[in-house]
Structure 1
Amino acid sequence: MTVNAVIFDIGNVLIEWQPERRFAETIGPERAAALFSAFDVHAMMNRIDAGHDFAATIAETAQAHPDWQAEILRFRDGWTEIAQPAIPHSVRLLRALAARGIPTFALTNFGAQNFPLSAAQFPFLTEFDRHYISGEMGLIKPDPAIYAAVERDCALPPETLLFTDDRADNIAAARSRGWKTHLFDGPAGWAHCLVEHGLLTKDEAA
């Protein structure tokens, strides 16, 4: 069946989300390893992605880890230095689809307050036809409810949606609803998938 919309995850698809790497670059690998052993960054971010307040959640986490307060507060005060850089080939694919007139949506686990910070830094994040931001929705992947909410809002048959995400659990949840899926492991594979579905030519996907 024809693909009626292409749905992108954002973190590690369009912009890098590798906080361990970013901290290793600034405070050194050993201290960064100790930091991420002392607190669960992904648990903190899951709360934010599910709708908890960005600044308040980070401040609360920092207070709970007094030996690492300054480092943890960097997630609040230096967000755009951590959630970066862009993945250029993926951005080109997004824009190539738009140039073809193919609807593109974002479906991302992202906080309601920090998504605008990233969108200001990377304006291509504003170029989607529809945005499904977990922190705004109060739902988080891979909860089936978030996929159902997308289906209700866009009113497109599930089997006409093509979704890419870097997490296997998010992909499995989408596939279980009948979505076409691609587990993102780099933009070259995603480009090949889009060509295979007849959405872009090889030149457009380069």
Structure 2
Amino acid sequence: MPPPPAPPAAPPRRLVVAITGASGAAYGLTALRLLREDPGVETHLVVTRGARATIREELGTPVPGLAALADVVHSEGNLGASIASGSFRAHGMLVAPCSVKTLSGIATSCADNLVVRAADVMLKERRRLVLLLRETPLHLGHLRLMTAATEAGAVVMPPVPAFYAHPKSLDDMVEFTVVRALDLLDAGTAPIPRWRGNDAPPRTPHP
């Protein structure tokens, strides 16, 4: 008797990664690198025009080299891309870094480019949208935009350093923030320190 057919492979979990023109291009680069290590994730990348200049200035990395870390790359102006439709099954989206201009578009549903349109799709389909907003200090207009985006369902996550993780370098600080952001999207394979509570029993060492 022939063996039973193998079960169909699980479809990939699609994540959209957008890099906008705010300072902090390393967050987007690190997200792509970590997601590349997760075999169950298919990444869809959008890089804005402003981000291209920031990437050259901060990373010294050409955009084609960065784009090679993604499974699919979309043009910022292509509003007919797959990720612009709610019928395209995507698990969530990370905007890293997120500029105030992009935040404004998301908060007001002004989808004049693919980043904002894809983010708007995530919100209307009740999917997870994480925004690594890079701006400081904040004025009242910024705060109102953050409130509006949060009320619509986005997670606004300013990339604040976590000193309790005892980072040894700038790369450590960036990676910790990105791992936390990916954790919100149930993605990534990098371990993350988790608080066990001060009343948790001590761990039993392995023999």
- What TM-score do you get using the length of structure 2 for normalisation? 0.43
Structure with the higher fraction of residues in strand conformation: 2
- Bigger relative contact order, structure 1 or 2, given CA contacts below 8 A and separation 6+? 1
Q: Which has the larger radius of gyration?
A: 2
